[in-house]
Structure 1
Amino acid sequence: MSWISLPMDEMVGPRLYCCYKCKNHVSVHDDIISKAFQGRNGRAFLFSHVMNVIVGAKEDRHLMTGLHTVADVFCGDCHELLGWKYERAYEETQKYKEGKFILEKSKIVKENW
């Protein structure tokens, strides 16, 4: 008999982020692009992908980095506001955010860590 050694993260599954209110899975740690963002209520993370969410209507907002078209992002289970999706950036230096998601740190919790 031979033993196969797996990295710890493969044994326990992906490190997840969940809605703080209902524990619905909303993203995985590997999809974090940056932890250096500011949300409405403090620190926020920029994610490349999210899951199990509802994306609201698009609207233009003046954010710290200029004018953006964004859509609020809600938990797909309990409908708690978690952050927003960048639909369009009007300044060239901000285009990398298009299609990405902000989840506020205070609205998500870790699972499987």
Structure 2
Amino acid sequence: MEGFAATGNPFYSCRKCRSPLALRDDLLSKSFVAKSGGAFLFRNAKNIVLGKTEDRQLLTGKFETADIYCSKCGEGLGWKYIRAYDPSQVYKEGRFILEKAKIFKVY
């Protein structure tokens, strides 16, 4: 993504194709869990494609989610929270989960 490296800020890229995905400044939490293990919650993500939305029962409750894929190589990266059914989880709406095993940090 243009501008990522130019900002001088660290960012996260797709481990498979190196496409930039999210700025370090948009990282909200490193304490999430996904299929492959650890996962990070981001405010924004770029260079992704959204899959079909579906309801899922996750560790913290029921959510409407959409899987996210790298727009360059098609690698499954995690998901986007579309809707939280539990009011205490609404802060996740519109946020992105990127699986730690699928990304790497660029300095």
Matched, 1:94 2:89: yes
2:34 counterpart residue number: 39
Can you list the C-alpha shifts for 1:57-79, whole angstroms capped at 9, x where unaligned? 10000000111000000001000
State which structure, 1 or 2, has the greater radius of gyration over its C-alpha atoms: 1
Q: RMSD of the alignment, in Å?
A: 1.5
Aligned identity (percent) is 48
Aligned length: 103
Residue 12 of structure 1 deviates from its aligned partner by: 7.0
Structure 2 portions without partners, runs of 5+:
1-5
Query: Normalization by structure 2: what TM-score?
Result: 0.92
Give unpaired runs (5+ residues) of structure 1: 1-10
Distance 1:94 1:12 in 2: 32
**Structure 2 residue matching 1:30: 3-state secondary structure:** helix
TM-score, length of structure 1 as denominator length: 0.87
Aligned partner of 1:108 among 99, 103, 106: 103
Structure 1 residue ranges (4+ consecutive) displaced by more than 4 angstroms after TM superposition? none
